[in-house]
């Protein structure tokens, strides 16, 4: 799905990224973003890739039991099998 929204540039050169875009990119306060200008004049906005220790625990949901690395591997492999079929 392609999202298209507008934002207003402030006198200080700041914008608020619309909620729909923040949610799609899993952005949170303090996240870093890269802006690139293409030859066609389009601007690309990309979240900066983070190290695992910077996002550790972000995906945990309240009440969800913690998984061991081995349990995570099993879940990943199961999901990959589902996606392949």
What domains does the chain contain, in order, with CATH numbers?
A: 1-50 (2.10.260.10)
Q: Write down the pLDDT at residue 54.
A: 57
CB 50 within 8 A of CB 34: no
Q: Quickly count: other Cβ atoms within 10 Å of residue 21's Cβ.
A: 14
Is the pTM above the cut of 0.85? no
Calpha distance 21→69 (Å, rounded): 31
Does 6 score more than 80 pLDDT?
yes
pLDDT in tens, 24-71: 888 888 888 999 999 999 999 888 876 665 556 666 677 878 788 888
């Amino acid at each position: 799905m392609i999202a298209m929204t507008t934002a207003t540039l402030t006198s200080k050169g700041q914008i608020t990224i619309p909620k729909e875009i923040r949610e799609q990119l899993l952005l949170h306060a303090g996240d870093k973003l890269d802006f690139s200008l293409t030859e066609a004049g389009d601007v690309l906005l990309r979240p900066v890739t983070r190290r695992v220790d910077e996002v550790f625990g972000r995906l945990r949901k309240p009440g969800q039991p913690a998984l061991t690395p081995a349990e995570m591997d099993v879940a990943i492999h199961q999901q990959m099998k589902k996606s392949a079929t």
